Structure 1
Amino acid sequence: MTFQLKIDSVVQAVYDSLPDDASLALTLALAEVCEDPVGHTDPYGIDDGVTRLLILDRVLVMLLVTDTPAMQIVRVLQIAYDG
Structure 2
Amino acid sequence: MTYRLTYDPAVEAVHDALPPEAREQLTLALAAAADDPIGATEPYGADDPYMRLLVIPHTTALIFIGHTRRTLAVLNISYLG
TM-score class, shorter: over 0.9
Structure 2 gaps of 5+ residues are none
> CA-to-partner distance for each residue in 1:5-58, whole Å, 9 max, x for gaps?
000100011001100000000000000000000000000011120000000110
Partner of 1:41: 41
Percent identity of paired positions between Structure 1 and Structure 2: 43
Q: What does 1:1-80 correspond to in 2, within 5 Å?
A: 1-68=1-68, 71-80=69-78
State TM-score, norm by structure 2. Answer: 0.98
Cα distance in structure 1, aligned partners of 2:12 and 2:72: 14
SS across alignment from 2:76: strand
Aligned length: 81
State TM-score, norm by structure 1. Answer: 0.95
Structure 1 gaps of 5+ residues are none
> CA-to-partner distance for each residue in 1:55-80, whole Å, 9 max, x for gaps?
01100100000102xx1000000000
Q: Moved runs in structure 1, 4+ residues, more than 4 A?
A: none
